[in-house]
Chain A
């Protein structure tokens, strides 16, 4: 049932589906509800990389050299990792400058050079048109095989029948029509084709499904899984050799690497890839997902290639079946009609997707960069007088599309089975790789000049012609084969496949090496030794610094001259049509914050806007010519351009600096405010302290004075009374002295002027001294005192006298708050985790939760100081805490009100801990200490 009357309607139905999808996509785009504005469609549409060459040819290559074809897909995977840096920059630049093709990109970077744009276009057309021919051939070839069903046979020499009976011809015409319909609907300032991209994404899906289906069928339907195929292949003499095909020879690895590099460039610089990745990109953030989705697509596309190749070689062992057709012939041989038809559609989708996008890209270049510049320069054409050129432009664009497709078709008719067509895939890759230095250098190296780019491109292209294209012509019999074998005119050193005697590499690697050398060498050397013109320098800065200037920063307009608004509007209208032109101008006025487009000043900004808008329609180089003809431009000297650029970058730098300074200022202000608050707090504390101290001093002073006056005024007081008053006076004087001593002590501690005599101190001796010093207090009140210790007496680094002072303070506090006769105080010394811990526990009234912090503040005592008689100076605990903290420890209180209090301090045990004494120290008597008893 696979007669042509089935295949052709099915194919036409498929193309009809494409039309419908493209129509729907455009329809949605017109209503502002894009269906392609998501990263998945973007990633799928990048799948236009996989052409019929992939669909049919990968299997053929795999049958010949195993994994050798994989770099063509691994290279792009590697490159995708760099896309976030490189491609995002290219997209940003292209959007900012309305760049619509690769030729436009290169020419815009190097001062909108028309010569450069033309050269890029010529290289692209010569390099890629044969590739289009290959797609047409694949379709007509697979059709020829399919119609012979159920017979599996290669169509012998292609019947070069009349053109009108050739499927490929009709195919070419249908594709041209499709491309014209959806690629040139109108002259868009951004040159985006939403419907077309939707159709391409759909085609990517179809070819993937078709290939996976046939792969799965062959792997599990004909054979018994991967392992089965490889097991049988291992027994096959020819295939077993392919299991480790990179056998050691340096050449194989070099070929692998060069193929990787080649395809890394192809994924960026094939015109169709540039068109899809850059021109049709809706949002640069879609790049993110595509970076891993697209490699995943390629991986899926390749999983079954080797099994299919090996399966086919074994299946058709002996029969003359071209490995390139295995995906089609294997299901045909198994009588799988539907599957064979699906495969044919998959191949068709791969071929049509490539032809459509490649044609659009090439026709844009041919129109904008070859035809328009010539027409615009020819006064006899009278273009200058025409008011509306949109029709002419569209006509040229459509003519270019038909021209490119037919060029591909006639090359296919001419070349047929010739080597020049069969090998064109990689030869095309090598051609577009020539763009790499000019583009990548152009976006990172400001110093690259127009002359350098021209020289590099020309040199690389000539080497490519000589080492790849001409030899392929020779192999096809169009040039004498002696040219290949003996070199031109018999000069052996000039043999195209072994230039200057370089042998041992395959033709592609060999050509890559020499063309890269020529291209990069000329590009760098000439750039270094030539000077940029004023316009070039401005463009270079605009490209290289796109992330710095683009978007938020002020835009740099390097232009000087006089223009008039009506003239500029008229110019725009001639190429975009009056409606689109006035919409664009109104938009621009709104962006500049002007109410009406009439108010627009005819300044550098407007000129730049018009030029960019024109560039979207007719390319950068042509736009330059047109704008120059419409306005009076002054020629800028290189110094003027530098000044303009410098001023702009100074303004930017200055505003950055300003932002930076103001940020710094804000931080400084915040710091100052905090410091000020702290100071005010300290000031308040000091005032409190002074008033408390004077208050505390006045109390004993008042009672001393009162009793002295009594004694003075009443000389007749009896001796007992007198004695009692004198005792009070002495006690109050002592209290006053103590208070003053403590205030001085605290002042010394706080100011850091206290003298410390740090040594290793035996804590047990300190405890013992303190107990001795306070012994009388305990005996007076009949309070029990108990000492508990662990087994070892640790040493700590501290000032011995100060430590005694702390302990005496804690002990005297304890004894002060317990009831006479019932009171009990326990001193507990222990070591835990390298810390010495001393606890002084009493069974007094305890400290309320709220007071547990307060008692460590100066002059603060637990309880109501207004109604109760103060029991101390309120300085003992603050002083003790200062001392302990000075030794690196801490002092705190643990207490449940009504159930006693425990004052605890911790000190780090001195290192080395080896010197540890037994508890003997406790028994030794030591001198009493001079430290004033604490309250």
Chain B
């Protein structure tokens, strides 16, 4: 909890999330294609979301 790096790291994750969930990147996946039966956009949104959560957990639990 004492790490001064935690704040900057979390801001970096936030910025990554803003990129992942906005226009240019999101548009790349907005296609009528399926991956393993799941529409591409849906698969992308949920995977990116899970990735973001994993990063948050990593930053919180690791930087002590």
> Are A70 and B17 in contact (CB-based, < 8 A)?
no
> Are B11 and A81 in contact (CB-based, < 8 A)?
yes
Mask for A234-252, Cβ within 8 A of B = 1, else 0? 1000001001111110000
Closest chain B CB from A79 CB (angstroms): 8
From 41 to 56 in chain B, residues with beta carbon under 8 angstroms from any chain A beta carbon are 41-42, 45-46, 49-50, 52-53, 56
Which residue of chain A is the closest to B44 with respect to CB atoms? A67
Given A77-B17, A246-B41, A299-B49: A84 and B23 interface contact (C-beta under 8 Å): no
Given A227-B37, A260-B21, A288-B1: A295 and B27 interface contact (C-beta under 8 Å): no
- Which residues in B have their C-beta under 8 angstroms from that of A226? 37-38
> Are A246 and B26 in contact (CB-based, < 8 A)?
yes
* A296-B46 Cα distance, complex, nearest whole Å: 11
- Which residues in B have their C-beta under 8 angstroms from that of A866? none
Which residue of chain A is the closest to B12 with respect to CB atoms? A81
From 474 to 497 in chain A, residues with beta carbon under 8 angstroms from any chain B beta carbon are none
Cβ of A256 within 8 Å of any chain B Cβ, yes or no, is yes
> Are A292 and B53 in contact (CB-based, < 8 A)?
yes
> Are A244 and B10 in contact (CB-based, < 8 A)?
no
Contact among B14, B40, B45 for A82, CB-based, below 8 A: B14
Cβ of A85 within 8 Å of any chain B Cβ, yes or no, is yes
Contact among A66, A77, A231 for B53, CB-based, below 8 A: A77
> Are B45 and A67 in contact (CB-based, < 8 A)?
yes
Q: How large is the interface on B (under 10, 10 to 19, 20 to 34, 35 or more residues)?
A: 20 to 34
- Which residues in A have their C-beta under 8 angstroms from that of B22? 253, 256-257, 260
> Are A288 and B18 in contact (CB-based, < 8 A)?
no
Given A77-B17, A80-B56: A231 and B37 interface contact (C-beta under 8 Å): yes
- Which residues in B have their C-beta under 8 angstroms from that of A67? 41-42, 45
Cβ of A285 within 8 Å of any chain B Cβ, yes or no, is yes
> Are A253 and B53 in contact (CB-based, < 8 A)?
no
- B interface: dominant SS: helix
Cβ of A230 within 8 Å of any chain B Cβ, yes or no, is yes
Cβ of A74 within 8 Å of any chain B Cβ, yes or no, is yes
- Which residues in A have their C-beta under 8 angstroms from that of B36? 227
Cβ of A6 within 8 Å of any chain B Cβ, yes or no, is no
From 2 to 43 in chain B, residues with beta carbon under 8 angstroms from any chain A beta carbon are 6-7, 10-11, 13-14, 17-18, 21-23, 26-27, 30-32, 34, 36-42
Cβ of A44 within 8 Å of any chain B Cβ, yes or no, is no
Contact among B7, B38, B49 for A230, CB-based, below 8 A: B38
- Which residues in B have their C-beta under 8 angstroms from that of A248? 27, 30
Q: Which of B21, B26, B34 has the most CB of A within 10 A?
A: B21
Closest chain A CB from B23 CB (angstroms): 4
Mask for A266-301, Cβ within 8 A of B = 1, else 0? 000000000000000000010011011001100100
* A291-B17 Cα distance, complex, nearest whole Å: 14
Given A84-B10, A246-B26: A299 and B53 interface contact (C-beta under 8 Å): yes
- Which residues in A have their C-beta under 8 angstroms from that of B31? 244
> Are B21 and A82 in contact (CB-based, < 8 A)?
no
> Are A230 and B1 in contact (CB-based, < 8 A)?
no
> Are A306 and B56 in contact (CB-based, < 8 A)?
no
> Are A292 and B21 in contact (CB-based, < 8 A)?
no
Given A70-B45, A247-B30, A306-B42: A291 and B56 interface contact (C-beta under 8 Å): yes
Closest chain B CB from A241 CB (angstroms): 9
> Are B49 and A74 in contact (CB-based, < 8 A)?
yes
Closest chain B CB from A877 CB (angstroms): 53
> Are B14 and A78 in contact (CB-based, < 8 A)?
yes
Closest chain A CB from B13 CB (angstroms): 5
Closest chain B CB from A813 CB (angstroms): 59
- Which residues in A have their C-beta under 8 angstroms from that of B49? 74, 77, 295, 299
Closest chain B CB from A524 CB (angstroms): 23
Given A288-B60, A299-B50: A81 and B1 interface contact (C-beta under 8 Å): no
Cβ of A717 within 8 Å of any chain B Cβ, yes or no, is no
> Are B41 and A82 in contact (CB-based, < 8 A)?
no
Closest chain B CB from A544 CB (angstroms): 17
Closest chain B CB from A578 CB (angstroms): 40
- Which residues in B have their C-beta under 8 angstroms from that of A260? 21-22
> Are A244 and B30 in contact (CB-based, < 8 A)?
yes
> Are B57 and A74 in contact (CB-based, < 8 A)?
no
Q: Beyond the given A80-B56, A243-B39, could you list 13 further A-B residue pairs with CB under 8 A, ordered by the A residue number?
A: A67-B42, A77-B53, A81-B56, A82-B11, A84-B6, A85-B11, A226-B38, A234-B34, A240-B32, A260-B21, A288-B1, A289-B60, A299-B46
The 10 closest A-B pairs by CB, nearest first: A227-B37, A81-B14, A292-B56, A292-B57, A243-B39, A253-B23, A246-B30, A78-B17, A244-B30, A81-B10
Can you give 12 contacting A-B residue pairs, CB < 8 Å? A70-B45, A78-B18, A81-B10, A81-B17, A226-B37, A243-B41, A248-B27, A256-B22, A291-B60, A292-B57, A295-B49, A295-B53
A contact set with B: CB distance below 8 Å: 66-67, 70-71, 74, 77-78, 80-82, 84-85, 226-228, 230-231, 234, 240, 243-248, 253, 256-257, 260, 285, 288-289, 291-292, 295-296, 299, 303, 306
